[in-house]
Amino acid sequence: MKLAKGKYIAWLDADDISTKNRLLEQFNFMENNQEYGICGSWAILIDENGNKLNEIWKPISNSESIKFQMFFSNNFITSSVFMKNFSGERYQFSDKWTLGEDYNFWLNIIPNYKSTNIKKALTFYRINSSGATLNGQNKMDENKLEIIDNHLNNHGLIFNEIEKETHSSLVLNKYITLYKLIPYFQKLLLHFHHSIFLKEILLDRYTKNQIRNENRNFKNIGEILYVTKKMSFRFNLVSFKRFALLIIENLFHLRIYKTS
């Protein structure tokens, strides 16, 4: 990256593919929105042979929401990223994390620049069962948690051990008991001045956490309603769909959402 001379840098992993108009779309966006440092996009998922999987990966687009979403997961598909050339600035890849170095890099940039994902599929993202996409998941999770904790600390947010465990559970989609969850939510919201964007992200993560619980039942529905009222959360379309799915599953004794 240090050798790059152009105004912008476009990323593309070796086994992924860009659409023909990707670079032009992202170039025009960045030229017309100089306050943005990173511009990603949606992506069409393909298999090892390049066949479309009838699924589009749609990371969120709102810049303020992305800032909070990044405390839980990487909101950028690396092969879709088109960014300013930061080679002359302090933003550099760190050798500390061999897996997740791109995640850490984006987290360094977004506090100082706006970011977005164009709501168009400008990349084909390959799901490779034998490649880095699925291998070494434990190490990736470990690095991910370290990276997130480091950046939360940079924002002046220091968690105790129970709060760290709770945050990790939301990151890794593990079930959380209410007595741990509520104080954690309260601390996070107080620190970030009860941001409406953070509230939306927290409810989104929490409903995702609940529906991925293999032993989910009517109790999970009650917990979501309690948390929503207690924290003054409001459902967006995604979190409401998960909540409605939980109700349908329990009413009709189904398992529509697959956790594996």
pLDDT in tens, 94-135: 777 777 889 999 999 999 999 999 999 999 999 976 655 455
Show Cβ contacts of residue 165 under 8 Å, excluding neighbours closer than 6 positions: 180
CA distance 10 to 12: 7
Structure tokens at 78: 């690396």
141 belongs to a structural domain: no
Range of the domain at 241: 159-252
CA angle, residues 73, 197, 250, in degrees to nearest 5: 70
What pLDDT, on the 0 to 100 scale, is given for residue 182?
Answer: 96
Rounded CA-CA distance 184/198 in Å is 13
Low-confidence ranges of the chain (pLDDT < 70): 1-2, 88-90, 129-135, 257-260
The tally of domains found in the chain comes to: 2
216 in any annotated domain: yes
pTM value is: 0.90
- Same domain for 242 and 175: yes
Going by the DSSP 8-state scheme, the letter that residue 128 receives in this structure is -
User: What is the C-alpha to C-alpha distance for residues 62 and 5, in angstroms, rounded to an integer?
Assistant: 29
